[in-house]
Structure 1
Amino acid sequence: MSVPDNIDALLAPRNIVLVGASDRNWSLRVHENLQRFAFGGPVYLVNPNRDRLWDKPCYRTLADLPEAPDHLALFVPAEQTLDILDDARGARSASLYAAGFGEGGETHGLERAARLRGILSRTRIAAVGPNCMGLAVGRSRLSTIPDEQLSALKPGPVAVLTQSGMLAQTLSRGVESTGHSLAYLISCGNQIGLTFADYIDRLAEDNDLRVVACYAEAVPDAERFFAAARKAKRNGKTVVLVKIGGSKAARQAALAHTGAMAGGHAAFDALAQEAGVVRVDSLEDLVEAVALLARAPRPRGKRVAALTNSGAIKSLLTEAADAAGVVFPTLSETTHGRLLAAIPDATPASIYDTKKTISTDQYLAGVRALHDDPNVDAVLVAEELPRAAGIDRKINNLRALDKWIATEAVKPVAIFSPITLSESAYMHEIRAELTGTPWLRDLSKSLRVVARTAMHDLPALQPGSITPERRAALQQLQRSRAGSAGPQALSEAASKQILSLYGVTLPPEEVVPGIEEAERAAARIGYPVVLKAVSADVPHKSDAGLVLLGLNDAAAVREAARTITSRCAAINARLEGLLVARQMSGGVEMAAGIHRDPEMGPVIMVSLGGVWLEVFADSAFGPPGLDLVRAKTMIASLKASQLLAGYRGAPACDVDALAGILVGLGQMALDFGDALDSVDVNPILVRPEGAYALDGLVVLGSNKTAREAAQ
């Protein structure tokens, strides 16, 4: 992806023009911050009703300025914002504070939003907002954020991006409380101008940066967002974010706030993991993740070792491990020996209780032994900073640990306090001195952050290319959909025909036109059989009584066929034929499909199937184009995986066959692209040998060109 032309003009403009400058709006605070942070270029004021302001000349229009404007900070309403941008006199960037651009779906606001997109596209102005609080950049000493308490930014390892203006201030102070300054603070607003993807793509090129912390309500372009995150990952940086979308109410609130639709967490996570994005659940966890990643590499996994001198802390760590998602592993024999040599009277374990304050040599030897163990991914050291001078041994230990972390540690090693404490001036002084050590606050939060930031070392996805028969089927569907609008459900028979092209195994079955043909098909297939209506008018046939089970002879098939014909007529559903299938039993009923998230696009789903799909919240999601490794990981994450493994003496089911269906659906999602709305394969009977799709529903999307259809 390419960064918009003028994004560097946004981050480091030649001059700034405060349009609508006045003592009665945010412009005063912005002007004061620009002076306080010593912005290097001219700052011009524009207000047609003033000649001078803050001992500076005030110009009537942009045309009256002594030089061409570069960055416009627009402290004017939405309509005026549009008019000024429409004739921006060559300005390359802008901060757009005004709301009224479609928040909540208001008609005039949506019209303004469309006009704004057109203006920005034509002028190539790189704009932050609208409905935002501007941005601040340490390297250029720029701030268009109207926060009188904002601290000076400077180049360093942390950037903050947020859709919320108020949270820009909150998060900046939260990060500062961990001892870090910000390099960038960007209030993105509605993202009609630049998006998260644009900022992350540019920030990925900043050599000083290590972590980009985000609060996101909606991601306007998921594909570009994750491409930017992958670029950041390649360059040694991590995107960590709090994402709205965990509930329907939250998604509606996000729509009202920014005018953009938020998707669900499960769909986001399915794609985020591939891109190296870390999603956390709260702003506090976001700040702690910054504290860890600004000074330490990401953990390679969720296996944690801890050093403490408190039995209570050991108990609390053990208690919190499962909820946090970490494991305290068994240590190697070599590590046992090293720990015994360091502190003979302490019992070696991955939660290593030294029982007392120990010497610096012992302290470092213990941490080093835990760090070097091949079964450990991260080390946490329980400490509370002294509130006043006088505890020299503890301070010496911390100084020695800080030096070792900065020069030798290759895994994350962090100090954590059992609870969050307010800091005395002396505590703050000591922590500021120890610049190589990540400092975390609160035991449970520290474990959660380690678990969430842990890397997932999976091979890169290598999706296959579309085969000739799949392309032919897709092109045929595209032709049949010509001129149509809106989603269209295919019949079960048509759906299964497509699914079979993607390796989805079907039971022995035939589609026949009438009753006599159904009898002959049942004899060929073998009793007992199932009889179903073939009708695109009825996607959920069981609910309409159009699926009849347990047919053991020809008479039962005849009676079932008459019943189905009568029921279709009663609901005015077009009967295209009858599907006769062998009734299969044994195994576990699962479900799989392709779900199109309104924000993230298509994701692959697997869950417990049959009537239990909507009863139990036991689903897992993966990316389009997933491989067998990811498919099996999805299945293993389900509670239903215990049933598949053979619960209470039942035979184990063919998980490989189920995983193969997921891989096929993943390729189908890539091949069909926007031509596909959703796929529902439910139930899938997973037996000791094989997995069979007993039903399937393919819903075509609106009439758009799919990725391969025109090739």
Structure 2
Amino acid sequence: MLKKFFTPQKIAVIGASGDPNKLGYDVINNLLRFEFPGSIHPVSKSYNEILGVTCHVSIEDLPDDIDLALVIIPAKAVPGVVEKCGEKGIRNIIVMSGGFSETGEQGRMLEEKLKETAQRLGVRVIGPNCIGVIDTHTPLNTTFIIGMPEKGEIGFISQSGALVVAVIDWAAGSGIGFSRMASLGNQMDITETDMIDEIGQHRETKVITAYAEGITDGRKFLQKATEISLSKPFMILKGGQSDKGALAVSSHTGALSGSNDAYNAAFRKAGILKAENMEVMFDSARALAWQPLPKGNRVAVLTNAGGLAILTVDAIEKNGMEIAPLTEETKSFLKTRLPAAASVNNPVDVLAGSGPAVYGLALDALLADETVDAVVVIQVPQDWFLPSGLAEVVAETSKLHRKPVLTSIMGKESSKEALEILNKRRIPNVPFPERTAAILQYMVERKDWLDLINEEQVTAFDDMTETPQKPSGADELAASQQWEALAGAYDIPLPEQDKASDADEAVGLSEKIGYPVVMKMISEKFTHKSDVGGIKMGLNNEDDVRNAWNEITAAASDAGAELQGVLIQKMLTGGQEVIIGIKQDPQFGPLIVFGTGGTEVELYKDIETAIAPLNEGEARRLIASTIAGRKLKGWRNLPPADMDAVVDILIKMGNLAAGHPEIQEMEMNPLYVLEQGKGTYAIDIRGALRSS
């Protein structure tokens, strides 16, 4: 438990200073200025007292029951200080000092020494190289920065101290309040997973937000994040989303599914909402903390300005939601009560001459409409009534219904009082109405994830902690790289096929299997054999087979490759080609990818990624998220394909990935999907083991 980092009774400040230009002074000043209710114990040999607080000359001179120590001294002295703190019985330390692993090899070695010292003495450490923590409800501000966020319900965790500083300054006066904030620094000991657990259990925290550049232990993080997401919304702004550092190995799977795809898949699995930017994250967090979730994705827009309503409608539809159709009863009601020129279709435009009373009447009607799941209220400033009057009406009307209401009461000076009212009444307001679309999209995403979890009566956490049972002999097959045999061990269907070492044997196998057949080059040199003429399709007789043998032999010779025979395979027709692949991600473990397969996989890049293993609901959602999945339902001249069989293969491949971490990647491209009820076949399988 990390509770004492946020609710200590006695704090020691090691490196305290009476010099207003020193960080050790700023920390003492913040503890006092923001009314920390406990006692403060500065440690300093240079000062008898700082800001009226008596100093201690050494750590040994401190009381025996210090809950938390703040360390702000040169890096080289930190391990020794932590040693003394541990011997004194202090078990919670925030090391704000920089000069550790972020500075290079020498700093890394110093950090290792600090870590060893802390572990040996049973001391928990936040940092080093951080700015500390804040709890607005204690209240507690251990940082050296200027300012304190407003008291609220949003928890914020950051791997960047500078971002915490920026957020506090940006949020001032915005109506966005925080419960707890934590800067983690180098995460030598306490990680983002530890901190989301602590803040997630905090009663005053209703929504957790985080800025993360990386995850320390991906699977552990997912398990804890899933537990938290079941009870509280969790949003992350991910830094460093480029895939340039992703390792692309021999298969399409490795090349097409990068590190950002892995993070996206992990966040979806755990119900984490991935923010696109900081502004949207905190706007959405406030709405998630204050408003009920919508029951669906149908939105009504109430406005006094047509142009802004159009922009808002565009944004709503762009974010995947719908404009509520409104019932005829609602339209008739509005028509008899709004100005004659007003629009009673959605968006509902009450015109510039309408005041708070008309807004309230229309808002009540929209919220009562069964086709409406959420309402956006837009108001352009008018010179004949105060925005505060509208704010009161919106707040009173919205509390009569269990549907989310977002406002965009525009203007700055004229709307100050209105915004204070809305914040007090827990109605989120944004300065430009298009921003409401992204907020509502996150609210719908949250609602959909909770619905799916409840529907399946199983959590992603259960999936990740249960190791799938492996078929007998599967380990030996994986170790020997017999990919077709390994697939067979997991009951993944293969077309009838066999290997031939010369033309005569190829003819004999073709006649045994039955024409038409496909001939494929067997050579370790080529991953994509079609690129060098190594695959011949539609072979209908002996002459076709012998000609194909000669052409493949010549192709191998021209490429300077050793031909190790050919594979004769029954040719299938009338189906669709998809790709299913697995890979091991360095942070989140086994992944599974699905999308459009065949020779055009890299052209279309219709690929989506999920965390393995999968349950049936997750498999179906993965399929539905791709163009390939939409085609499988039936497309133009293509009849519906055997979707159930594809789901079955995805689940089996997910189990294979989770059960065989020694397999770096493996893919079936294509998996040939026949018509509904006729099954699937893995046409081509390749893979690679992890390098030791």
Fold conserved between structures, TM > 0.5: yes
Amino acid at match of 1:286: M
What's the CA shift string for 1:570-608, capped at 9, x where partnerless?
Answer: 989887764211233444432121233333332221122
Whether 1:404 aligns to 2:397 is yes
What secondary structure is seen at the aligned counterpart in 2 of 1:524? Answer: helix
What's the CA shift string for 1:471-508, capped at 9, x where partnerless?
Answer: 32333257x48xxxxxxxx3xxx212222344533222
Note the 1:559-574 alignment, pairs <5 A.
560=548
What secondary structure is seen at the aligned counterpart in 2 of 1:614? Answer: helix
Q: Which residue of 1 aligns with 2:407?
A: 415
What's the CA shift string for 1:496-522, capped at 9, x where partnerless?
Answer: 222234453322222456654433221
Amino acid at match of 1:600: F
Structure 1 residue 402: Cα displacement: 0.8
Between the aligned residues of both structures, percent identity stands at: 27
Partner Cα separation in structure 1 for residue 33 and residue 427 of structure 2: 31
Q: Which residue of 1 aligns with 2:493?
A: 505
Whether 1:475 aligns to 2:460 is no
Q: Which residue of 2 aligns with 1:310?
A: 305
Structure 1 residue 564: Cα displacement: 5.9
Q: Which residue of 2 aligns with 1:93?
A: 92
CA contact (8 A) 1:378 1:413 kept: yes
Structure 1 residue 182: Cα displacement: 1.8
Amino acid at match of 1:451: Q
Partner Cα separation in structure 2 for residue 428 and residue 360 of structure 1: 12
Residue range with higher mean Cα deviation, 299-308 or 623-632 = 623-632
Amino acid at match of 1:158: I
Cα pair distance change 1:96/1:568, threshold 3 Å:
farther
Cα pair distance change 1:66/1:623, threshold 3 Å:
closer
Q: Which residue of 2 aligns with 1:44?
A: 41
Q: Which residue of 1 aligns with 2:275?
A: 280
Amino acid at match of 1:399: E
Partner Cα separation in structure 1 for residue 472 and residue 137 of structure 2: 55
Structure 1 residue 640: Cα displacement: 4.2
Q: Which runs of 5+ in 2 are unaligned?
A: 248-256
Q: Which residue of 2 aligns with 1:519?
A: 507
CA contact (8 A) 1:172 1:182 kept: no
What's the CA shift string for 1:635-659, capped at 9, x where partnerless?
Answer: 3332345544555544444444333
Partner Cα separation in structure 2 for residue 572 and residue 79 of structure 1: 59
Q: Which residue of 2 aligns with 1:485?
A: none
Residue range with higher mean Cα deviation, 662-671 or 430-439 = 430-439
Residue range with higher mean Cα deviation, 307-316 or 537-546 = 537-546
Cα pair distance change 1:693/1:249, threshold 3 Å:
closer
Structure 1 residue 451: Cα displacement: 0.9
What secondary structure is seen at the aligned counterpart in 1 of 2:313? Answer: helix
Q: Which residue of 2 aligns with 1:688?
A: 675
CA contact (8 A) 2:583 2:665 kept: yes
Q: Which residue of 1 aligns with 2:252?
A: none
Partner Cα separation in structure 1 for residue 126 and residue 549 of structure 2: 64
CA contact (8 A) 1:595 1:679 kept: yes
Cα pair distance change 1:70/1:98, threshold 3 Å:
same
Q: Which residue of 2 aligns with 1:453?
A: 443
Q: Which residue of 1 aligns with 2:184?
A: 188
Whether 1:232 aligns to 2:232 is no
Residue range with higher mean Cα deviation, 442-451 or 16-25 = 16-25
Partner Cα separation in structure 2 for residue 271 and residue 159 of structure 1: 21
What's the CA shift string for 1:535-584, capped at 9, x where partnerless?
Answer: 66755444565444444434554565577678779989887764211233
Partner Cα separation in structure 2 for residue 415 and residue 58 of structure 1: 51
Whether 1:679 aligns to 2:673 is no
What secondary structure is seen at the aligned counterpart in 1 of 2:290? Answer: coil
Partner Cα separation in structure 2 for residue 628 and residue 83 of structure 1: 54
Cα pair distance change 1:170/1:685, threshold 3 Å:
same
Note the 1:515-594 alignment, pairs <5 A.
516-534=504-522, 539-542=527-530, 546-558=534-546, 560=548, 578-594=566-582
Cα pair distance change 1:423/1:600, threshold 3 Å:
farther
TM-score when normalising by structure 1: 0.83
CA contact (8 A) 2:468 2:659 kept: no
Cα pair distance change 1:276/1:64, threshold 3 Å:
same
Q: Which residue of 1 aligns with 2:29?
A: 32
**Aligned match for 1:379, one of 375, 378, 382:** 375
CA contact (8 A) 2:175 2:423 kept: no
Structure 1 residue 676: Cα displacement: 3.1
Residue range with higher mean Cα deviation, 520-529 or 424-433 = 424-433
Structure 1 residue 201: Cα displacement: 1.6
Cα pair distance change 1:76/1:321, threshold 3 Å:
same
Cα pair distance change 1:382/1:543, threshold 3 Å:
same
Cα pair distance change 1:251/1:659, threshold 3 Å:
closer
Cα pair distance change 1:55/1:330, threshold 3 Å:
closer
What secondary structure is seen at the aligned counterpart in 2 of 1:200? Answer: helix
Partner Cα separation in structure 2 for residue 372 and residue 505 of structure 1: 53
Residue range with higher mean Cα deviation, 270-279 or 342-351 = 342-351
What's the CA shift string for 1:45-85, capped at 9, x where partnerless?
Answer: 33456665555555453223243543222213433223322
Partner Cα separation in structure 2 for residue 129 and residue 559 of structure 1: 69
Partner Cα separation in structure 2 for residue 574 and residue 251 of structure 1: 31
Cα pair distance change 1:190/1:548, threshold 3 Å:
farther
**Aligned match for 2:287, one of 281, 287, 292:** 292
TM-score when normalising by structure 2: 0.85
Q: Which residue of 2 aligns with 1:391?
A: 385
What secondary structure is seen at the aligned counterpart in 2 of 1:682? Answer: strand
Partner Cα separation in structure 2 for residue 123 and residue 25 of structure 1: 30
Partner Cα separation in structure 2 for residue 577 and residue 80 of structure 1: 67
**Aligned match for 1:621, one of 591, 599, 609:** 609
Note the 1:197-216 alignment, pairs <5 A.
197-216=193-212
CA contact (8 A) 1:405 1:436 kept: no
Partner Cα separation in structure 2 for residue 335 and residue 636 of structure 1: 35
Structure 1 residue 700: Cα displacement: 3.3
**Aligned match for 1:136, one of 134, 137, 159:** 134
Cα pair distance change 1:426/1:528, threshold 3 Å:
closer
What's the CA shift string for 1:624-677, capped at 9, x where partnerless?
Answer: 2333443333333323455445555444444443333223222323333x3332
Cα pair distance change 1:402/1:683, threshold 3 Å:
same
Partner Cα separation in structure 1 for residue 319 and residue 632 of structure 2: 26
What's the CA shift string for 1:366-401, capped at 9, x where partnerless?
Answer: 223322334333211112567x9x625x54342132
Q: Which residue of 2 aligns with 1:323?
A: 318
CA contact (8 A) 2:134 2:142 kept: yes
CA contact (8 A) 2:506 2:568 kept: yes
Structure 1 residue 125: Cα displacement: 2.6
Q: Which residue of 2 aligns with 1:258?
A: none
Q: Which residue of 1 aligns with 2:253?
A: none
Number of aligned residue pairs: 665
Q: Which residue of 2 aligns with 1:700?
A: 689
Amino acid at match of 2:176: H
What's the CA shift string for 1:192-251, capped at 9, x where partnerless?
Answer: 22222222222222222211121111121233333333333333x211121124313699
Residue range with higher mean Cα deviation, 237-246 or 678-687 = 678-687
Cα pair distance change 1:150/1:249, threshold 3 Å:
farther
Cα pair distance change 1:500/1:71, threshold 3 Å:
same
Partner Cα separation in structure 2 for residue 467 and residue 141 of structure 1: 47
CA contact (8 A) 2:366 2:372 kept: yes
Amino acid at match of 1:241: I
CA contact (8 A) 1:70 1:90 kept: no
Partner Cα separation in structure 1 for residue 245 and residue 173 of structure 2: 28
Q: Which residue of 1 aligns with 2:5?
A: 10
